[in-house]
Structure 1
Amino acid sequence: MTLPPLEDALLAVDGRVATLTLNRDDVRNALTGTRLIDDIVAVAEWVNRREEVSVLVLAANGAAFSAGGNVKDMAARGGDFAGGVAEVAERYRRGIQRIPLAMQNIEVPVIAAVNGPAIGAGCDLANMADVRIASHRAKFGETFLNLGIIPGDGGAWFMQRLIGYQRAFELTLSGRIIDAEEAKTIGLVLDVVEPGQLMARTMELAGRIAAQPPKATRLTKRLMKMAQRMELKDFLDLCAGFQGMCHNEPEHLEALDRMLARN
């Protein structure tokens, strides 16, 4: 299997599970001022072309999951934050806003293994996954307003879909940082484990999903996403079409054979 060339991240494949690891601990895996935006987008596009991959795990090396934007660049008005209103806006469109569009279009389930602080755009990146599993060291913060800016990467769109408008509003407008246990209580993360167990727990879930019939898995994720914005009648029509496809796939007949053989 040919992997895409990456500069600031690592990609590994084990069976039907691909793992993308942010690898810029020197800047706490900041998304701006590095090549992580390009790397994330490249892997998102790559995984859609690889039928042999059923799950993508998003992890990070170092003390932090991601610090989001590079604050030093912001203070210096450099990099992605240089220039006037129109210039900065265009850099956002051509830069960090590519991540939510790419993540939203990933066809396979995405599990984020959050090892440490996920702050600002780093929190939003975790929220773009389908599932989040956190270590006890993880922290989550929509801290944009603390710096006099907004969630310019689309974070407000994702968070309220995970935990509801009221909780998302409070966290975003207060800029409060929460620990992993509170994140689990409000439904932002699925599970919280000891740091040494984070990847094992993540891979356990990834393996269970990857063991499912791959084409039906991709269609089911698409249905879950579409259900958020479709009327019921239109959604049922879509389900009927997808189910017709599934009933005519070899993987369906193979699954039936396995079930009948056990009985």
Structure 2
Amino acid sequence: MSKYKLVMLRHGEGAWTIENRFCSWVDQKLSVEGIKEAEKCGKYLKSLGFEFDMVFTSILSRSIQTAWLILEELGQEWVPTRSSWRLNERHYGALIGLNRAELALNHGEEQVKIWRRSYDVAPPPIDENHPYYQEIHTDRRYTCCDIQKDKLPKSESLKQVLERLLPFWNEEIAPEVKRGKRVLISAHGNSTRALLKHLEGISDADIIKISLPTGVPVLLELDENLHAVKPHEFLGDQEAIQAAIKKVEDQGKVKPSEK
């Protein structure tokens, strides 16, 4: 029986989403379309009567900005928000900044799919010669984490994302849910996938099939032990959502003109 409801989502579209590049821990604001997606998400949640008591985000701007815009549309700007690096997007290591379609052309679509969607395969790690290493690893926000900066990841599999996310879920988010707080999580594609895997018990093999479009709320109904009582539900126009999911999946494929 369903006892709790949890709403989570991948942030709205960012500038590098348009360019089909791995953004990961590079901090970027929402694109114009991403702002519209977040506002639309807020309007839709309002039409369904959703109210929230707590909001959780990563420490990346696109996650935080999405939460702000949703709360503004809901008229719930006062709702407390907590941010943690543990909800950050997956660290894509040496792939950060690279174009997915170009990688598929050079390394094959299957390899790119493994890098993007598999459970336990991590991309090559980022090093100090990488063009975005300094931008990421000298960022002041990472001096405020609950572990030392030199212990932060340089590359992650989805399994590693789940491992660093679970302490925050168990210690910060889950207790609020069990207190009856209505929780919204504004995070990223992979941190949301990792949490869905954990709560729904999705297998290592099946998680590769899960893709999340930007700016679409996901509803999960949980029992008293915070286990999903049924599969997650995308809220909104289902035909448009399926088209958006296909668009995400096609990001890792070679462009037809390049085949």
TM-score under structure 2 length normalisation: 0.24
Provide TM-score, normalisation by structure 1.
Answer: 0.23
Greater radius of gyration (CA): 1
Which protein, 1 or 2, shows the higher relative CO under an 8 Å CA cutoff with sep ≥ 6? Answer: 2
- Structure with greater strand percent: 1
